[in-house]
Amino acid sequence: MAALLPIISEILPMIMPSSISVTKASDVFPPTLHVAPDTTTEQQNGSPSSSVEKDKTKRPGIKVISRDAMVNKTDKMCASVLILPPKSTSTIRHNGEQDAIIYAALGSGILLSSPKDDEEPIAIAVPKPNGTKDSKAPKAEESIIQEPQPVRYPLEKGDFAFIPAWTEHQALNESDTEDAVWVVTRSGSSPVEVHLTDWGGAEVKAEQGPSSSSNFLKKTLFNI
């Protein structure tokens, strides 16, 4: 009997096909969202499909919003939407055992991945204050060590990106005025996001807080 279970699981969908599920835009995006600078990691009250995260870098505390679009419908995949307001940066994270595909639906953004393992720190010469008001006085130089930088992948509207499981990455929007919206499909029933303190850093434990919002208007995504 146990040997028949795999066969039965393959035959049942043909005999009893499942119904189509549709998630409306109004269920994914609130009518109007507004961003307020903050430094807390928050999840919207009463809405497990929505989360707002703080900026974990040295950039201003502008939040990005992640909203579930299609989850727990199958154990093979799920979809969510990542909204990056202008000048915002997501946490550094990986998706655990899940592979992910990003589709850039709106705006321009940057996908960062962890620095290359074979890249060495480099010394950069910078002017050293000479301690005098004489602008013509010769200026000495000192060296600072620049650590390996993350790899940058610019994503324009219509671009795709594949993120393998366990790959550390970060999303940022360098635009001054335009939101970036990415549709993220993962190989699991619901999204897995492990937030890190830094590249190769420890896991960040999320804390719940009061509701928050972003300046994204839901209709914008569908006027492209």
pTM reported for the whole predicted model? 0.67
**Domain covering 34-115+148-224: architecture:** Sandwich (2.60)
Beta-bridged to residue 92, according to DSSP, are 196
Mean pLDDT for all residues in the chain: 75
What average pLDDT does the segment 153-178 reach?
A: 96
What average pLDDT does the segment 20-34 reach?
A: 70
Tokens for 6, please give them: 């795999």
**CB of 216 closer than 8 Å to CB of 177:** no
Q: How far apart are CA 211 and CA 52, in angstroms?
A: 8
The percentage of the chain sitting over the pLDDT mark of 70, rounded to a whole number, equals: 58
What average pLDDT does the segment 44-52 reach?
A: 46
Close Cβ partners of 194 (under 8 Å, ≥ 6 residues apart): 93, 94, 95, 96, 203
- Residue 15, SS3 per DSSP: helix
Of 194, 156, 160, nearest to 56 by C-alpha is 194
Torsion angle, alpha carbons of 212, 103, 191, 47, to 10: 30
**CB of 168 closer than 8 Å to CB of 92:** yes
CA distances from 111 to 150, 214, 217 (A): 10, 20, 23
DSSP letter for each residue of 154-176 = EE-TT-EEEE-TT--EEEEE--S
Q: What are the pLDDT digits (tens) for 60-100?
A: 456 889 999 999 999 999 999 999 999 999 999 999 999 99
- pLDDT of residue 154 exceeding 90, the answer is yes
- Residue 90, SS3 per DSSP: coil
- pLDDT of residue 53 exceeding 90, the answer is no
Region at 92 (left for phi over 0; alpha for psi -120 to 50; beta for the rest):
beta
- Residue 23, SS3 per DSSP: coil
What average pLDDT does the segment 178-185 reach?
A: 94
